[in-house]
Chains A and B, each alone.
Chain A
Amino acid sequence: MNQTKQALANAWIGLVVLSILSFAIAASSGIGPAIETLIVIAFAAMKGRIILVWFMGARSFPQAWRVFFAMWLLVNAVVIVGFHLVSPA
């Protein structure tokens, strides 16, 4: 859980940038719903990974827990995107 000040700041910047990009993509009318959903959920998983690794210190977790959280991110993203793609608005 102990990172350098710079690493934590970089993680925060990454989270803010990905969040703002998500808002912008959702607000723009030029992107189709499927692509938009794919991107915002992919960004969600990336942000989740940043929080897990840089804030929660997941790199130091025992193997089983690293796998659990990696699967959690992946399954959430796949399930959400999957259901959205089969039933577009």
Chain B
Amino acid sequence: MDAPIRQAVESADTNAPRPPAAVPALPGDAGFWTFIAADAILFALLFFQFSLDRSHHAQVFDAERGELVIALGAVNTLVLVTSSWLMARGVRSASLGDIDSTLRWITGTVSLGGVFAVLKITEYVLEIRFGHAPSTSTFFMYYFMITGIHLVHLLAGVIALSAISLRLRSAPNYGRNRVFLECGASYWHLVDLLWMFIFPLLYLAR
């Protein structure tokens, strides 16, 4: 980025108060938030169903929870919140006209998404080696299903953000890509938001 542009971008930042939004609005395309809301409701139902079933077999669930590789889940939590931060930085850069930086932030986001997926699959392999599978117990059914459905969502997000990145690369124009970028970012933040509950629910709560 040219030095004068970099200066302009950075001085637009700092201490000036943010003007309030003129009209309350959802980022990206408003209709897409129906998709986000539906996903949020799906996971709320998963959390409810898990909690209900756990209440009938609390001790068994807790014993099996102890078989999880909590460290990998913990690392993944940090990976995902960081990826979400990078995504937010990417949206901010784009709104300031700095598409080059946006592309770098999105690459970071997608890379961390990849790290999450690799760690998650490693966890699955370890659990299967320990003798746990979706069919071995109710707890592990929920573990594999909830984290598996989440992983599918994450991978879909990786694909979507990669496509948005390619689009930005071929036509580095914020106006034409704003809706795609904000929808992609909102979806990614949802994936992160869901994990904020999934991790403590499955790995930590007793």
Q: Per the CB under 8 Å rule, do A and B touch in the complex?
A: yes
| Interface residue ranges, A against B (CB under 8 Å) | 1-6, 8-9, 11-12, 15-16, 19, 22-23, 26-27, 33, 36-37, 40-41, 43-44, 47-48, 51-52, 54-57, 59-63, 65, 68-69, 72, 75-76, 79-80, 82-84, 86-89
Give the contacting residue for A80; candidates B61, B89, B197; CB below 8 A. Answer: B197
- A88 lies within 8 A of B92 (CB): no
Distance, CA A79 to CA B46, complexed state (A): 11
- A40 lies within 8 A of B205 (CB): yes
Query: Nearest Cβ in chain A — how far from B186, in angstroms?
Result: 6
Which residues of B from 81 to 108 have beta carbons under 8 Å from A? 81-82, 84-85, 87-89, 91-92, 95
A84-B205, A89-B206 known; A4-B78 Cβ under 8 A: no
Q: Which residues of B contact A54 (CB under 8 A)?
A: 88
Chain B residue with Cβ nearest A57: B27
Distance, CA A36 to CA B182, complexed state (A): 36
Q: Which residues of B contact A4 (CB under 8 A)?
A: 13-14, 18
A1-B182, A12-B81 known; A37-B206 Cβ under 8 A: yes
